Amino acid sequence: MNRLADKNVVITGAASGIGRAAAELMVSEGARVLIADLDEDTAAEVAAEINRGDAPGHAVGAAADVMSETSIAAMIDRAVEEFGGIDVLCNHVGGSNPRKDLDLLRLDLEEWDRVMALNARSTVAASQFALPHMISAGGGSIINTVSVGGLVGDTLQCAYGASKAAVIRLTQYIATQYGRQGIRCNGVAPGAIMTPALRDNLPAEVIADIRHHNALDMIGDPEDIGWAMVYLASDESRYMSGQTLVLDGGLTAQSPIATSRRVLLDT
């Protein structure tokens, strides 16, 4: 409790999935959290639900379209107005349309541009608007949600993987450029996480196959990423910057043939 006492936090895409889990956990640790989401009504409902408990922090819902610089600027202004400043920015919104973001020869170039704007450009813009407030306050923490897709190749979603790789490198640039002004910037790279989006978009047999290929015999929950974000938001991670925490059940730690060789242990 109170690991984030007096911290002012902005989380984009915080009305569901990992973003919501992070918001709930941060409020439980004493933070004041702006739950920013494209759907303002849902953001307000989630904030109200979180505030019904007895957590020491507080949540506020707000509209934010991260494809619009005007909307991003208004989001940051709202946080400053509500809380008096910003200590933590979580650039969490992201994604791509798997029906258009395919292998390179079938990739829709308009989808490429959209995904780069959604995942990478929005991270740049939100960080640009938040950084002056953090610097004037003596420091802050920027947390970028990336993906294991930005670390390894895959058969599909070229745009998604490339955009997340860009954010991983951007994370290091922000950490390098503003570290002497008290700014830390780190990333979290989830593997498969049991969010509503995962359940709604992948058949049960595909989810089971992902679990089969993880080193750990499990699929992560949103809270597994949320707790990592709590750590990066807190002063416990004060000596960590420019890094990406990989939370993927050990998927990317393995040799590609590790899963098939595992059966040898049973013979």
Name the residues annotated as catalytic.
160
Phi-psi region of 152 (alpha: psi -120 to 50; beta: other; left: phi over 0): beta
Determine, yes or no, domain membership for 1.
Answer: no
Q: What is the pLDDT of residue 206?
A: 84
Q: Is residue 37 part of a domain?
A: yes
In a domain, 116, yes or no: yes
Number of domains in the chain: 1
Its pTM surpasses 0.85 = yes
Q: Per residue of the chain (267 residues), what is the pLDDT tens digit?
A: 799 999 999 999 999 999 999 999 999 999 999 999 999 999 999 999 999 989 999 999 999 999 999 999 999 999 999 999 999 999 999 999 989 999 999 999 999 999 999 999 999 999 999 999 999 999 999 999 999 999 999 999 999 999 999 999 999 999 999 999 999 999 999 999 998 877 877 788 888 888 989 999 999 999 999 999 999 999 999 999 999 999 999 999 988 888 888 777 766
For the chain, report the end-to-end CA distance as a whole number of angstroms: 48
Q: Which of 216, 215, 224 is closest to 194 using CA atoms?
A: 224
29 phi and psi angles, rounded to 5 deg: -100, 15
**List of residues 6+ apart from 188 with CB closer than 8 A:** 143, 144, 145, 146, 225, 228, 229, 232, 244, 245, 247
Give pLDDT, residue 125.
Answer: 98
pLDDT at res. 257:
84
At 118, list the tokens: 């959604």
Of the candidates 48, 41, 47, the residue with the CA atom closest to the CA atom of residue 19: 47
CATH number at residue 167: 3.40.50.720
Instruction: Look at residue 203 in the predicted model and tell me its pLDDT.
Output: 80
Q: Which domain holds residue 224?
A: 8-266
pLDDT of residue 267: 62
In a domain, 163, yes or no: yes
* Domain presence at residue 93: yes
b/e code 6-35 from CB counts within 10 Å (16+ = b): ebbbbbbbbbbbbbbbbbbbbbbbbbbbbb
Q: Which two tokens stand for residue 223?
A: 């809270």
Residue 67 token pair: 């494809």
